[in-house]
Amino acid sequence: MKESLMNRSRVLAIVAIAGVYAGLTGCATNGDIEALRTEINQNKQATASAARDASDAKAMAQNAVTTANAAKATSDDTASKLDRMFKKAMYK
């Protein structure tokens, strides 16, 4: 009977320790869950904003490439005209 009482005491002590541990670690409260949801929504909005900014930057870069290509074509055309003028002057 003494051993049975000791075994029950040990089991009770283990259960008590487990209960205290569970109580100290705590559980997620509704406030914690709402805070996480708010943070997730903020992150979604920031991601959408970053995607829009990236899209705008891509459009601006494409516009810059188009402008640079047009400038290069004009420069090549001008260089060709100057070269023809120089050759005409050399033949005279």
What SS3 string covers the chain? CHHHHHHHHHHHHHHHHHHHHHHHHCCCCHHHHHHHHHHHHHHHHHHHHHHHHHHHHHHHHHHHHHHHHHHHHHHHHHHHHHHHHHHHHHHC
Total domains in the chain come to 1
User: Does residue 3 sit within a domain?
Assistant: no
User: Model-level pTM?
Assistant: 0.52
Q: Which domain covers residue 67, as residue numbers?
A: 53-92
Q: What is the pLDDT of residues 27-57, one digit of tens each?
A: 667 888 899 999 999 999 999 999 999 999 9
Residue 66 located in a structural domain: yes
| Position 91 in a domain | yes
